[in-house]
Amino acid sequence: MNRQRSPRGLSAAGIVIAVAVLSLLVTPSVRDGVALAILMMLTVTSALILLPSELRRARPVLTRAATSTMVVSVTLVATFFFSSTTDFNLATGAAMAVTLVGLSFLTGVSGQVSIGNGAFMGVGAFTMAIWSNHHATTPIAVTLLLSVVAGALVGFLLGLPATRLRGPYLAGMTLAFAVAFPAILTYFNSWTGGDGGLQLPNAANPPHWLNALFVHGTSSLTSSTLWLTDITIVAAGVAFFFMANLFSSRVGRAMRLVRDNEVAAELVGVNLNRTRVLAFVISSAYAALGGALWTFLNNSVTPATYSFALSIVILSVIVIGGIGTIPGALIGGLVYAYSTNVINWITNQTGLNPQGNFASQLNGIIFGGLLIVTMMLAPRGVAGVYYTLRRQRASKRGDVASPPKETYAEA
């Protein structure tokens, strides 16, 4: 314990200074109440993070809440200073990360994989748009929840056969669903608006309670799209908090047992079928939340977004980030948000014709290639490599090795 005190003290001082500086910078652009709220959030969470490790171990839920609050509030404060492009990228990545953490959960704890999460995102995205068009006054949180419910229902329907199946049938079925999704949207085109998609009715109007919190006119929050970004990030934070708890909950442990040893799971009274379907339903619901957040962020939805290609990209970024882990989903979300920029950069650097065939296919070649290479060399992605390195370092120092994070994919 003694050895750890000094870096802990240093980081505590650093965080406190950072909080002070940030709140000084933020205060002029928002009302005092908001600045105070942000400051309190940051202080409370930094205090919680710095709690002695015994207490953190004893109160895991509290620690997770603190961690999510801290990450969210730091990101929120940061969005005040970033350009609107960066804000939009971050929010897009955050919504994608919600989808990814659902898929990570499905694979990590139940050993199944879905190739159709792009379509489940589409279910959420279109539910959000359709509901908003019919009931424009519904609060955002309620509409988001409705989209999640819709995603869960579709997931339940498709997941039912999964109770009786073994092997990669579920993957095949979700692939069929993803391929079918555009045709399904067209089939219901009186609802989904056909190829043009749907616009949200009350676009770019922040709700009243948000307006009341911030000074009119002075802050960029109400005049620009910053509030969309911030609500998306908060929603993602809440989703991650629940998922972090689920990973280590009783249900999560039961699921891992089902994955590793069905017979043992049955012997200790785990209902195999219910557990498998539940994992799939949760994953679909999370994907739907991600899609609904995208609709919310863009104020519109188009069917072209939710093509089969999106499902493959989702699989690629979560595998690169680290499938079966929570940090992997965050990394994957960032990779997704910046992939277009990186690919454009590569196109410029290599002097390819941006309109050429090759440049337009670079996306698929890179993502597909990374998918293969990652699975072959480091099946747990970036997060897995980090865990392995940390464990190696810990064992070199002679510490008690921290238990390895469980993931399904093995080296």
Partner 1 sequence: MDVFLTSRIASDVLGGLTNGVIYGLVALSLVLVWRSTGILNFAQGAMPMLATYVGMVTFGHYFGYWICVVIAVLVGFLIGAGTERVLVRPLYGKPEINPVVVMVGFLTVLEAVAAAIWSSTPRSLTTPFSPIDFHLSGKPFALSAFSLYQIITAVVVMVAVAVLFRFTNLGLQLRASALAPEVSRLLGVRVNRMLTLGWTLSTGVGTITAILVASNFFTGLTPQVMDGIFAFGFIAAAVGGLDSPVGSIVAGIVMGIILQFVGDYVNSNAIILVALAILIVSLMARPNGVFSPVKTRRV
List residues near partner 1 by CB under 8 A.
107, 111-113, 115, 157-158, 160-161, 164-165, 167-169, 171-173, 175-177, 179-180, 183-184, 186-187, 263, 308, 312, 315-316, 319, 323, 357-358, 360-365, 367-372, 375-376, 379, 408-410
Query: CA torsion, points 99, 100, 106, 109, in degrees to nearest 10?
Result: -130
Choice between 96 and 162, CB closer to partner 1? 162
Which CB, 150 or 312, lies closer to partner 1?
Answer: 312
Minimum CB separation from partner 1 for residue 326, in Å?
18
Cα 371–chain centre separation: 19
Nearest residue (CB) to partner 1, 156 versus 386? 156
Q: Which two tokens stand for residue 134?
A: 């019919």
CA atoms of 249 and 233, how far apart (whole Å): 24
3-state secondary structure (DSSP) of residue 355: coil
Q: Which of 150, 138, 47, 92 is nearest to 310 (CA)?
A: 92
Q: How far is the CB of 362 from partner 1 (least distance, A)?
A: 8
For 261, the token pair is 């040893």
What is the distance between the alpha carbons of residues 296 and 301, in angstroms, rounded to a whole number?
A: 9
Question: 153-177 as b/e, with b when 16 or more CB fall inside 10 Å?
Answer: bbbeebbeebeeeeeeebeebbbeb
Closer residue to partner 1 (CB): 159 or 252: 159
* Residue 173: CB minimum distance to partner 1, A: 6
> Nearest distance from residue 110's CB to partner 1, in Å?
11
Using CA atoms, how far apart are residues 124 and 146, in angstroms rounded to an integer?
8
On whether the CB atoms of residues 116 and 313 are closer than 8 A, the answer is no
State the nearest-atom distance from the C-beta of 373 to partner 1, in Å: 8
CB of 47 to partner 1, least distance (A): 40
Residues 6+ apart with CB under 8 A from 123: 147, 150, 151, 154, 284, 287, 288, 291
Q: Which is nearer to partner 1, 20 or 372 (CB)?
A: 372
C-alpha span between 240 and 88 (Å, rounded)? 19
Closer Cβ to partner 1, 217 or 351, answer by number: 351
Nearer to partner 1, 7 or 269 (CB): 269
Q: Which is nearer to partner 1, 167 or 398 (CB)?
A: 167
- Characterize 31-58 residue by residue with b for buried, 16 or more Cβ atoms within 10 angstroms of its Cβ, and e for exposed: eeebbeebbebbbebbebbeeeeeebee
Are the C-beta atoms of residues 72 and 237 closer than 8 Å to each other? yes
Kindly state the helix (H) or strand (E) to which residue 304 belongs, with its residue range: none
The nearest distance, CB 402 to partner 1, in angstroms, is 23
Nearer to partner 1, 63 or 283 (CB): 283
- Shortest distance, CB of residue 52 to partner 1, whole angstroms? 38
Min dist CB 268 to partner 1, Å, is: 15
Gap between the Cα atoms of 267 and 171, Å rounded: 27
Nearest approach in angstroms of CB 333 to partner 1 is 18
Q: Which tokens in the block code for residue 101?
A: 């953490």
The residue (of 181 and 296) whose beta carbon lies closer to partner 1 is 181
